[in-house]
Structure 1
Amino acid sequence: MKAIQSILFFSFLLFANFIIAQTATVRGVILDTNNKPVEAVNIKTSVGTGTQTNKNGFFMIVIPSDEKVTLTFSHIAHKNITLTVQLKNGEDYEIFPLLSKTAEQIGTVVLDTRNRKAVEGIQTVSAETVRLIPGANPGVENLLMSFPGVNNNNELSTQYSVRGGNYDENLVYVNEIEVYRPFLVRSGQQEGLSFVNTDLVQNVDFSAGGFQAKYGDKLSSVLDITYKKPVRFGGRVNLSLLGGSASIETSSNDSKFSTISGIRYRDNSLLVNSKQTETNFKPRFVDFQTYMTYKFSDKFHLNFLGNIAFNDYDYEPLTRQTNFGTLQDPIALLVFYQGREEDRYRTYFGALKGNYYLNDDVTLKFIASAYHTTEQEHFDILAQYRLGEVNTNIGDQDLGSVEFSEGIGSQLSHGRNDLDALIVNAEHKGSYRINGDENQVDWGIKYTHEDIRDRLIEWEVIDSAGFSIRPPLPQFSNNQPYTPYEGPLEPFQTVRARNNTQIDRVSGFAQWSKQSTLGEHEVWTNIGVRAHSWTVNGDGIESKTQAVFSPRGQIAIKPNWEKDMLFRLSGGFYHQPPFYRELRGANGVVNPNVKAQQSIHVVLGNDYSFKLWDRPFKLTSEAYYKSLSDVNAYTIENVRIRYRADNVADAYAYGLDLRMNGEFVPGTESWVSFGYLKTEENINNRGYISRPTDQRLKFAVLFQDYMPAIPNLKLYLNLTYNTGLPGGSPSYSDPYQFQSKLPDYKRADVGFSYVIVDQERQFDKGSWLHAFKELNVGFEIFNVFDVQNSITNTWVRDVYTKRQFGIPNYLTGRVFNVKLGMRF
């Protein structure tokens, strides 16, 4: 915390001269030729800011004072108009532009920003919705869980799987800069904060597959975040029982230099204390993030993105009792713990991005970034357990206690894992527009150097009824506990490895986009290719170089029909060259011969825009198929992935995603999602079995409402239902013999917020509320129905029958939270 305080103090001193911005305001109502308000008109300024009209045609935008600023008003069904103003500091200028119809309405469909993203298969989410929706891990990832095809059964984790992929197969960008997450995260309790700070977010774009060549080399999805570029001073503070955040926006008098910075603190004790394990657990996360922009001239802008994060975990489990089985045959696992776990994560990230606008058609970008992480996981935990029958006699004073033990034993886990990783990137990207927006060529080249120093020491000793259980391997064969073994003791599981690994990568892409017509129909096409070459070196590693090529394409057609329809077809070859964790096998040793996993991905989509109850709605449908080869099979322990570090499997995934969004309640956006997925893998040609992410059905609702009698009282509801994931298998067992599913995942989070101050409800200077632009208080209930959801199984053996019991690891129960939000 002292380091964060020092950084904040230094930042405020550095930017003190820029805090008081000189601005003016332009506001008004935009009407059509029939004097009716026009909704969703885009207003953009020559200084790079913008806004949009609401359902009443109203807009308000802040611009720099004492300089000429050009405003452009554009709408899909009207002609564009421009207006140049030069206002004094503090001046409030009101206008009422009149938009006329244009004869060529369809041609603008791919020119509008949101519609251009639609033809690319990208879903856009309002930043304000991200900040409002309740969740145990609030933020962008929490909102993605309500999308079809996006799954995560662990509310303590920000990681997500998309259409059958795992948590390592997703790209995340902030202002076109690729960001990273820690390497050694073991479980959802240790996820910490998402990199994305929602207080700084302006736009959220997401693609679940079939994305363009300009995006990187991952198999599943792209999350593309845009941070704000402030034009005036402002701030935001959020407080709750789970922590708090604060952000500040600044802009210089000449609008050349702007900053937006945020600090966050989170303590998950409230959530983890609701689990079935009684613990002394203090998970604390804090990070500081800043994004700065300096405009040297109209042609050259320089940006800086920085992040420092500290995550500390002190974990001391005490007792646990988990009841499972059936009403007729209830069984309980009772565990007493000794020992503790101490984990520390320190991550530092910095990036410089320069934009050079050669002319109106050519833009050149240069990005340099560095990511450094130091991580430790140290634990010694002894667990002594009893597995037995539960007393079900109503009225008995021992009701619910374990009466007859079917299995007793203990388990000692030891770990000393340390990792130090440095990742350095240098990248150039550019774009060239030909004939306006009708043709565009994009290209890029990137160099990455990864230096990872890793020590992995883990072992586990299992004792059952006084006998130390040896690994069920041929060299350790025995008949315990029936025949005592008199040889030396061996750990049931052990991993010992030291790796000093360097990976050098060179990647690049080129793509061409074209807007054209086919008869009376609008057509948009994109064709591109990516290439990636990487070399693995290190102590005791024989150098290995490999390369892959990934052609990709998209086509979208908007027919000239009465119904507003858009059809998309996209796909191609997608490769994922192995990252360090994919090179490290279950034994901890790095295998430089691991190939890139390959996916042939095809997506067929449709957007149907219509009006219901005289309000706008859109139904998005996507059917997809993936054929995967050179698959690096893995197992999942909570959200920790252990790879086999080979390419001996093939797999496939197919499914259907449906999402209908719109104004179910006037003035608010809500949506309903449905997804069907089937994904299986074939390991060593033994036949197809479910992959660890094979979650067949998903249903989600995100709903916003307000009380008509009390319009300032808002309701936010987040519902999720997923069918069960595969429950995994015990150590050393054959996964082909363990294909049972976990119970279905059911969760409901609800939030209530009372708005005291907002844009439409302001107070006079005489009131203390005048200082606030927004002020609200809220109350949240996580897991409203207190459903016992499970994420994995703990496997315990019955000493008499050697039967393996899968004991569910339950997630958080019902939790209450209060919060306070303000913006000034």
Structure 2
Amino acid sequence: MSTNKLIFVFFFCFASLPLLAQTARIKGVILDKNNQPVENVNVSYSSIGTQSNQNGFYDIKVPANQNVTLVFTHVSLKKITIIFSLDSNEQKEFNPVMSDQEEQMGEVIVTSNNRKLIQGVATIEPEMIRKIPGANAGIENILKTLPGVNSNNELSTQYAVRGGNYDENLVYVNEIEVYRPFLIRSGQQEGLSFTNTDLVQNVDFSAGGFQAKFGDKLSSVLDITYRKPLKFGASLEASFLGGSLSVDAVSKNRKWSAVTGVRYRNNSLLVKSQETQTNFTPSFADIQTNVNYQASAKWQWSFLGNISQNKYQYQPLTRQTNFGTIDNPMALTVFYEGQEKDKYDTYFGALKTTFNVSDNFTLKFISSVFHTLEQEYLDIFAQYRLGEVDSSIGSETFGEVAFTRGIGSQLSHARNDLDALIVNTEIKGFHDWKESQFEWGIKYTRESIRDRIIEWEVIDSAGFSLNPPIIDLPKNDQPYSPYTGPLVPYQNIRATNFNSINRFSGYGQWSLKSNIGSNEVWYNAGVRFHNWEVLGSALTGKSQITFSPRAQFAIKPDWQKDMVFRLSGGLYHQPPFYRELRDADGMVQPNTKAQQSVHVVIGNDYSFKMWNRPFKLVSELYYKSLTDVNTYTIDNVRIRYAANNNATAYAQGLDVRLNGEFVPGTESWFSFGYLKTEENSNDKGYIARPTDQRLKFGLLFQDYMPNIPSIKLYLNLLYNTGLPGGSPSYADPYLYQNRLNDYRRVDVGFSKVFIDNTTVKKDTGWFKDFKELAIGLEIFNLFDNQNAITNTWVRDVYSKNQYAIPNYMTTRVFNVKLTAKL
């Protein structure tokens, strides 16, 4: 990255208004052994503290999402030391009893279970994220095992939630919205997710019906919090797929702290297991840091920065795909020339600050900048041969193509460049008033996009060029009669777009915890607004505005069984982002409307004990009614929109997840999802949407050997029914409804743990400073299932048939991984 870009990123962030780390509150009454209040007790953590009043009452704000050591001291009583870990905006009542006999020490881990229950939020432990195997391990790998979350591409970090597509999911890190590259067309190009799992403290996920404080998307929210370290530490991971290193640092006065991670990934191991033989040279790397500064008891600052560079060089050589039936086996053989060179450079910086105006009023400021430079260049010439395979056992040519039914060629060309700059500035307020909480926020976003698209494809079959079926050209029945019409590419997209988008958005919401009789109830109600206008050198869009009211209600009956019932939903809008404004021809349609959805979710959480161990059964029934739908097609992970809002749609389904300690001391879960989503374009009738994945089963399982507990097992199993897709280019979905085969995949990991928190460590030697040390073996796609992502369509010149040849994903792959933590 050039010096000018570095200066730009850091100058902008530090010159803007920021936001800071989240806080929680601990309060209570301090008593002595005679249950009398104790005055003038010093209550402190680090260098920040308060005192109890004449009634023994104290109230102190502490950092959230980290371990905080709270110390209670008095001139005539023994010290109490307690470690707390609270969630953001959580209030904990703690009433200690001080003694004059002995000091007291303990730990209180507090999670906002009640708050998350009413929001329908699933919490995922960071340690589980780091241990569960997957071809693209990380947070998204775990999300795909949850009900309602679907994917049929193990190389991609993208996921679809309850009938939505990849662009309908919100992702926040430390309350800051993060983005992904625009031009990614294939999962194997993605490399790294933005989120560095080595830095994560807390992960929350909502699959729908979320509150007004979250942004304007139709499907889901992934809310991630990075940790604030308390002391020096480091972690290391290395495998055949790459490696990562993270470092925790804290200043002597504990006012400064930072966590920094460096990652490198190489997908060669996975890509070379596919049928297409390639020269493949990928390079995915990034560096990320989260710096925190405690300026005073009331004022805190933090900076989040990320620089990533993904280089993807792909040179296909040959491919042979066998398909057909036992009686009629066939094969497609392809020989390639040319290569693809893609590059994605992204720079992200965000500055945050929190100011505690009073005990009941907090202000937060956020500013961030995201800059991406992307290029997608390819020239690939493919010559194919479609034929019948010799299936005679004992034949010298067994397994080879014995009779050719069709030959042809295809030339694909692309020169796509994109330069996008997204700037955000935001202010938030948090008010506590009696038993209620009120939150509000105002945000300004400026998006500047410079985009050039040049893509074309020429297809030749049996010696003559094929014309695109959507263009009215003279009849082409070569080679039987000469063709006199023009020669045009089978696909051709050319466009240059220089656009800017100004957005103003905001929200206000109210929350209350109360009682109805002996039953606990929670209320939340809020509304969002979003105003935007698309500008360009040759076009100007009209100013548009949306309002999105949302509400949640939850009740915990005073029953013997531990149950919570939830009802949530509202009107959700998705104002178009740049890719949603760009139609199938690559041209920006500035007046594209926001898609809107009426969303209703009914949920139940049932906590119980089985085998004297904790379990939870979570079930949700949902329905979405969508209007002004922006229809699209999906090819691998690339989405192309129509940008015309000419459809309506619906999504309905049931999600169930059972999680708990199936093996003592470990968490596992089973999940099931049913989904049906259909759309109606121009009143032609309802057909399946591209994300209509009807059934989903997921299993995430952890185990260990009873006699050798240091040997661990981690299992990740997915089964999804086939998605609509794989149709020929330009096929009318109303005339051609095709589904890919079911997606079946099992990833398993075995780990030998040498050192962890249960190990008795020696005071001397090489490993005395290690907190964790383990080596593992991972087997991806354990049963070597053939999962297809798309189809290649090839013509048989003799029968005039077209054959769908599956484009398979990765086969069985072995990986070795080393993990260590200081």
Q: TM-score, normalised by structure 2?
A: 0.89
The corresponding residue for 1:656 is 654
**Structure 1 residue 407: Cα displacement:** 1.7
**Structure 1 residue 539: Cα displacement:** 1.5
Instruction: Give 1:601-680 correspondences, 5 Å limit.
Output: 601-680=599-678
The corresponding residue for 1:90 is none
Question: Given that residues 181 and 195 in structure 1 are in contact (C-alpha distance below 8 angstroms), is that contact kept between their aligned partners in structure 2?
Answer: yes
Q: Deviations over 1:701-735 (max 9, x none)?
A: 10000101101111000011111111232122211
Q: What is the alpha-carbon distance in structure 1 between the residues aligned to residue 112 and residue 236 of structure 2?
A: 30
Tell me the SS of whatever aligns to 2:127.
Answer: helix
Q: Deviations over 1:412-454 (max 9, x none)?
A: 000000000000000011110112xx21001001000000000
The gaps in structure 2 that reach 5 residues or longer are 11-43, 47-59
Question: Given that residues 68 and 83 in structure 2 are in contact (C-alpha distance below 8 angstroms), is that contact kept between their aligned partners in structure 1?
Answer: no
Instruction: Give 1:319-334 correspondences, 5 Å limit.
Output: 319-334=318-333
Q: Deviations over 1:252-309 (max 9, x none)?
A: 1111110000000000000000001111112210000000110111111111000000
Q: What is the alpha-carbon distance in structure 1 between the residues aligned to residue 308 and residue 97 of structure 2?
A: 45
The corresponding residue for 1:727 is 725
Q: What is the alpha-carbon distance in structure 1 between the residues aligned to residue 450 and residue 731 of structure 2?
A: 31
Q: What is the alpha-carbon distance in structure 1 between the residues aligned to residue 261 and residue 810 of structure 2?
A: 28
Question: Is residue 258 of structure 1 aligned with residue 272 of structure 2?
Answer: no
The corresponding residue for 2:16 is none
Supply the AA of the counterpart residue of 1:461. V
The corresponding residue for 2:820 is 822
Question: Given that residues 64 and 254 in structure 1 are in contact (C-alpha distance below 8 angstroms), is that contact kept between their aligned partners in structure 2?
Answer: no
**Structure 1 residue 395: Cα displacement:** 1.4
The corresponding residue for 2:459 is 462
Q: What is the alpha-carbon distance in structure 1 between the residues aligned to residue 597 and residue 314 of structure 2?
A: 40
Instruction: Give 1:340-489 correspondences, 5 Å limit.
Output: 340-435=339-434, 438-481=435-478, 482-489=480-487
Supply the AA of the counterpart residue of 1:259. A
Question: Given that residues 345 and 375 in structure 1 are in contact (C-alpha distance below 8 angstroms), is that contact kept between their aligned partners in structure 2?
Answer: yes
The corresponding residue for 2:94 is 80
The corresponding residue for 1:770 is 768
Q: State the number of aligned residues.
A: 762
Tell me the SS of whatever aligns to 2:767.
Answer: helix
Q: Find the partner of 2:795 among 770, 794, 797.
A: 797
Supply the AA of the counterpart residue of 1:649. A
Q: What is the alpha-carbon distance in structure 2 between the residues aligned to residue 62 and residue 433 of structure 1?
A: 25
**Structure 1 residue 212: Cα displacement:** 0.2
Q: Deviations over 1:349-372 (max 9, x none)?
A: 000011111122211110000000
Question: Given that residues 80 and 103 in structure 2 are in contact (C-alpha distance below 8 angstroms), is that contact kept between their aligned partners in structure 1?
Answer: no
Q: What is the alpha-carbon distance in structure 1 between the residues aligned to residue 463 and residue 821 of structure 2?
A: 62
Question: Given that residues 276 and 316 in structure 2 are in contact (C-alpha distance below 8 angstroms), is that contact kept between their aligned partners in structure 1?
Answer: yes
**Structure 1 residue 794: Cα displacement:** 1.5
Tell me the SS of whatever aligns to 1:770.
Answer: coil
Change in CA separation of 1:95 and 1:61 when aligned onto 2, cut-off 3 Å: farther
Q: What is the alpha-carbon distance in structure 2 between the residues aligned to residue 431 and residue 662 of structure 1?
A: 35
**Structure 1 residue 61: Cα displacement:** 7.3
Question: Is residue 192 of structure 1 aligned with residue 191 of structure 2?
Answer: yes
The corresponding residue for 1:217 is 216
The corresponding residue for 1:493 is 491
Supply the AA of the counterpart residue of 1:451. S
Q: Deviations over 1:759-793 (max 9, x none)?
A: 12142221221020111111100000000011111
Supply the AA of the counterpart residue of 1:267. N
The corresponding residue for 1:36 is none
Question: Given that residues 790 and 806 in structure 2 are in contact (C-alpha distance below 8 angstroms), is that contact kept between their aligned partners in structure 1?
Answer: yes
The corresponding residue for 1:780 is 778
Question: Given that residues 285 and 309 in structure 2 are in contact (C-alpha distance below 8 angstroms), is that contact kept between their aligned partners in structure 1?
Answer: yes
Q: Find the partner of 1:571 among 547, 562, 569.
A: 569
Q: What is the alpha-carbon distance in structure 2 between the residues aligned to residue 122 and residue 195 of structure 1?
A: 21
**Structure 1 residue 164: Cα displacement:** 0.7
Q: What is the alpha-carbon distance in structure 2 between the residues aligned to residue 391 and residue 339 of structure 1?
A: 31
Supply the AA of the counterpart residue of 1:80. F
Q: What is the alpha-carbon distance in structure 2 between the residues aligned to residue 112 and residue 778 of structure 1?
A: 31
Q: What is the alpha-carbon distance in structure 2 between the residues aligned to residue 769 and residue 295 of structure 1?
A: 34
**Structure 1 residue 542: Cα displacement:** 2.5
Tell me the SS of whatever aligns to 1:270.
Answer: helix
Q: What is the alpha-carbon distance in structure 2 between the residues aligned to residue 740 and residue 94 of structure 1?
A: 71
Supply the AA of the counterpart residue of 2:701. F
Q: What is the alpha-carbon distance in structure 2 between the residues aligned to residue 267 and residue 84 of structure 1?
A: 57
Q: What is the alpha-carbon distance in structure 1 between the residues aligned to residue 72 and residue 190 of structure 2?
A: 45
Q: Find the partner of 1:522 among 496, 520, 523.
A: 520
Question: Given that residues 237 and 820 in structure 2 are in contact (C-alpha distance below 8 angstroms), is that contact kept between their aligned partners in structure 1?
Answer: yes
The corresponding residue for 1:297 is 296
The corresponding residue for 1:132 is 131
Q: What is the alpha-carbon distance in structure 2 between the residues aligned to residue 734 and residue 753 of structure 1?
A: 50
Aligned-pair RMSD on alpha carbons?
2.7
Supply the AA of the counterpart residue of 2:149. V
Tell me the SS of whatever aligns to 1:664.
Answer: coil
Q: What is the alpha-carbon distance in structure 1 between the residues aligned to residue 783 and residue 494 of structure 2?
A: 44
Q: What is the alpha-carbon distance in structure 2 between the residues aligned to residue 289 and residue 406 of structure 1?
A: 54
The corresponding residue for 1:561 is 559
Q: What is the alpha-carbon distance in structure 1 between the residues aligned to residue 642 and residue 103 of structure 2?
A: 65
Q: What is the alpha-carbon distance in structure 2 between the residues aligned to residue 392 and residue 251 of structure 1?
A: 68
Question: Given that residues 368 and 427 in structure 1 are in contact (C-alpha distance below 8 angstroms), is that contact kept between their aligned partners in structure 2?
Answer: yes
Q: Deviations over 1:11-45 (max 9, x none)?
A: xxxxxxxxxxxxxxxxxxxxxxxxxxxxxxxx999
Question: Given that residues 322 and 333 in structure 1 are in contact (C-alpha distance below 8 angstroms), is that contact kept between their aligned partners in structure 2?
Answer: yes
Instruction: Give 1:135-150 correspondences, 5 Å limit.
Output: 135-150=134-149
Supply the AA of the counterpart residue of 1:136. A
The corresponding residue for 1:89 is none
Question: Is residue 167 of structure 1 aligned with residue 181 of structure 2?
Answer: no
Q: TM-score, normalised by structure 1?
A: 0.89
The corresponding residue for 1:235 is 234
Question: Given that residues 62 and 231 in structure 1 are in contact (C-alpha distance below 8 angstroms), is that contact kept between their aligned partners in structure 2?
Answer: no
Q: Which moved more, 1:65-74 or 1:176-185?
A: 65-74
Question: Given that residues 597 and 630 in structure 1 are in contact (C-alpha distance below 8 angstroms), is that contact kept between their aligned partners in structure 2?
Answer: yes
The corresponding residue for 2:540 is 542
Q: What is the alpha-carbon distance in structure 2 between the residues aligned to residue 784 and residue 473 of structure 1?
A: 43
**Structure 1 residue 520: Cα displacement:** 1.0
Q: What is the alpha-carbon distance in structure 2 between the residues aligned to residue 163 and residue 377 of structure 1?
A: 31
Q: What is the alpha-carbon distance in structure 1 between the residues aligned to residue 98 and residue 307 of structure 2?
A: 42
Q: What is the alpha-carbon distance in structure 2 between the residues aligned to residue 583 and residue 98 of structure 1?
A: 52
Q: What is the alpha-carbon distance in structure 1 between the residues aligned to residue 481 and residue 159 of structure 2?
A: 46
Q: What is the alpha-carbon distance in structure 2 between the residues aligned to residue 566 and residue 257 of structure 1?
A: 41
The gaps in structure 1 that reach 5 residues or longer are 11-42, 53-59, 86-92, 100-107
Q: What is the alpha-carbon distance in structure 2 between the residues aligned to residue 66 and residue 308 of structure 1?
A: 45
Tell me the SS of whatever aligns to 1:737.
Answer: coil
Tell me the SS of whatever aligns to 1:453.
Answer: strand
Q: What is the alpha-carbon distance in structure 2 between the residues aligned to residue 444 and residue 364 of structure 1?
A: 10
The corresponding residue for 1:584 is 582
**Structure 1 residue 458: Cα displacement:** 0.4
Tell me the SS of whatever aligns to 1:736.
Answer: coil
The corresponding residue for 1:318 is 317
Q: What is the alpha-carbon distance in structure 2 between the residues aligned to residue 753 and residue 647 of structure 1?
A: 51
The corresponding residue for 1:339 is 338
Q: Which moved more, 1:276-285 or 1:64-73?
A: 64-73
